[in-house]
Structure 1
Amino acid sequence: MAGKRRFGRVRKLPSGRFQARYAGPDGLDRPAPSTFATKREAEIWLSKKEIEIQEGDWSNPNLGKITFKVYGSDWIDERPGLRPKTVQLYEGLLRLHLIPTFGSQAMNEIKETHVRKWRKSLLDDGVGPVTVAKAYRLLKAIFNTAIGDGLIKVNPCTIKGAGKEESPERPVLTMKQVFALADAIDPRYRMLILLATFASLRWGELAALKRNNVDAVAGTIRVTGTTTELKDGSVTIGPPKSEAGKRIVSVPELLLPDLAAHLNSYAEKGDEGLVFVGPKGAQLRRANFTRTWNKALKDAKLSGFHFHDLRHTGNTFASQSGATLRELMNRMGHSTTRAALIYQHTAMERDRAIADALGKLAEEALSEQDLNGSGT
């Protein structure tokens, strides 16, 4: 007659199947998550569970029963230091793309196959690949934390490359198109166009720019902040996303007279005054600027361009001027080479030379335009 098991116990159920039970490290008596066809299978499961406990790999199965909706929402709330816009992004991804599928499921019930089907369903439904990649990265991050919390043992997000964003290539304006757009827009925004291009500044960096950040004599701009626009219409100014975003960028000498004129005519007064404000003196907001932007595109006979394409254009011009990869990274405000490599070039010691080279390109384009126009 077989002796009594040292760990756990097995009993035959009225259905003919076998149930395995064991005492967990927490002292509670726990059943296996499912029954077994044979007693031998139940005993093998108990042997594995014993080893798991001995090696410190056991996790409380009750912890994993928390629903994804609850855990995911708590995950966002418990992340310290998240920017308001990032919180807004995560909450949107959770509400629109994750909770509808996984919300009611227990964390330890979500498997690789569920994640694969979810991702394919989003793509089949026409959700943009960039949004899908962001949602996948968020899902993976939540499950990574769940592993540390002991809810699960393995992250079900294992699709290779699924979190990689592959945005479609954006168009690049020609030098003439940049100046045509700058000439077509409301004069108070002329320098907004030119600095976005020739100083490679983002919208948020331009909207946060203050007088004491600009040296119109030396031709430099010190980037120390960026704006964040929330759904409730509020605008906040905070530091750049990374230390690399805090930088000094040189402005082509060609633009310095226009920059000084802008500061005299349109910028707020005082060192802390904003360089760019709306017609009524309000802080710049993308939504309010859209109509002005679209009108300028139409007047300049351009279409299909976004404001961020100006920065993309400026980065392309900078690479064409001979900037190294490090120089381009510095000018763009990036801490890694990934974005700079897009422009296929290897930016502060030679930043002045880059700015001057950009100025020469602009002068040549404008001189050619003047020659063509003077022939009448």
Structure 2
Amino acid sequence: MSWVGVRGGAPRSSSPGRLHAWPAGPADAGRRSPAGRGRAGAARFAGRLEFGPPKSAAGVRVVALPAAAVEALGEHLAEHVEDGPEALIFTGAKGAPLRSGNFGRAVKWTKTVASVGLAGFYFHDLRHTGNTLAASAGASTRELMHRMGHATMRAALIYQHATSERDREIAAAIDHRIATRARRARSGQA
């Protein structure tokens, strides 16, 4: 979740049939890049659970997953998910859908985050973490808007705060460009 930055309802309502793959670029010839198309969380209507649409039209999107997330998701699918394109990827102990109200208890969230030194860390904080990681990896405001499912720049700009690590990466990239230009100038390729 922290690598993707989607809203909490998306993983709770996702199914294998909503996972997609497409050919990667030329550098990754033969490999496929994964992505997921989520739904919003579950809501109870007339005694039955239904999955609703995303929060806004911008929430209807495909979000690419990093390889580390794909590996973990593949292991989870193989070990814990029933066959079928509409089986839920994440469920409670008895196979029931996870909802906002039962999620924390089902996954022992408070105990789990405290055990890794993150007491007070909320599930939604993973969304912030994922989008901060995307911004620090160089995502533009428009790219963050897409990953986050936002129609306006306001929320995306929150994640584009400067960090000293990213500042050093930018300086290193500038150094690389300067050195490349200097080498080309010396060899007459400028």
TM above 0.5: yes
**Does residue 1:200 correspond to 2:14, yes or no?**
no
Note if contact 1:319-1:344 (Cα within 8 Å) is conserved in structure 2. Answer: yes
State the shift of 1:329 in Å: 0.2
Kept in 1, the 8 Å contact 2:36–2:62? The answer is: yes
Is the counterpart of residue 293 in structure 1 residue 98 in structure 2?
Answer: no
Letter in 1 for 2:5: S
In 2, are the aligned partners of 1:200 and 1:312 still within 8 Å (CA)?
A: yes
**Number of the residue aligned with 1:170:** none
Aligned match of 2:183: none
Offset of 1:283 from its aligned partner?
0.4
Q: Offset of 1:233 from its aligned partner?
A: 8.5
Residues 268 and 277 of structure 1 are in contact (CA less than 8 Å); yes or no, is this contact kept in structure 2? no
Residue by residue over 1:188-220, the C-alpha shift from the partner in whole angstroms, topping out at 9 and shown as x without a partner, is: xxxxxxxx2111111111111111111375321
Structure 1 residue 328, shift from structure 2 partner: 0.5
Q: Does 1:221 align with 2:36?
A: yes
- Aligned pair partner of 2:160 in 335, 344, 351: 344
Match of 1:274 in 2: 88
Looking at structure 2, the residues matched to 215 and 264 of structure 1 have their Cα atoms a distance apart, in angstroms, of 16
1:134-149 alignment, distance < 5 Å: none
TM-score (norm 1): 0.37
**CA–CA separation in structure 2 for the residues paired with 1:329 and 1:338:** 9
Check conservation: 2:43, 2:52, Cα contact below 8 A.
Answer: no
After superposition, the Cα gap between the structure-2 partners of 1:261 and 1:294, relative to the gap in structure 1 and judged at 3 Å, is: same
Rg (Cα) greater in structure: 1
Higher relative CO (CA 8 A, sep ≥ 6), structure 1 or 2?
A: 2
Determine whether 1:239 maps to 2:53. yes
Instruction: State the AA in 2 paired with 1:313.
Output: T
Pick from 126, 148, 152 the counterpart of residue 310 of structure 1.
126
* TM-score with structure 2 setting the length: 0.71
Contact kept in structure 2, 1:227 and 1:235, CA below 8 Å:
no
Q: What is the distance in 2 between the residues matched to 1:304 and 1:234?
A: 32
Deviation, 1:258, is: 1.7
Aligned residue type for 1:307: F
Output the amino acid matched with 2:13.
A
Q: Distance in 2 between matches of 1:235 and 1:210?
A: 15
Deviation at 1:254, TM superposition (A): 2.3
Change (3 A) 1:301 1:232: farther
Distance in 1 of aligned mates of 2:68 and 2:160: 26
* Map of 2:79 onto structure 1: 265
Partner of 1:42: none
Aligned-partner Cα distance in 2 for 1:306–1:231: 27
Counterpart code for 1:253: A
Match of 2:151? 335
Hey, which bits of structure 1, 4+ residues long, moved more than 3 A?
Answer: 228-235
Report deviation, 1:322: 0.8
Residue identity (%)? 45
Q: Aligned partners of 1:212, 1:274: CA distance in 2, in Å? A: 9
Please name the residue that 2:64 is paired with.
250
Asked if the contact 1:228–1:236 (Cα under 8 Å) also holds between the matched residues in 2, the reply is yes
- Counterpart of 2:129 in structure 1: which amino acid? T
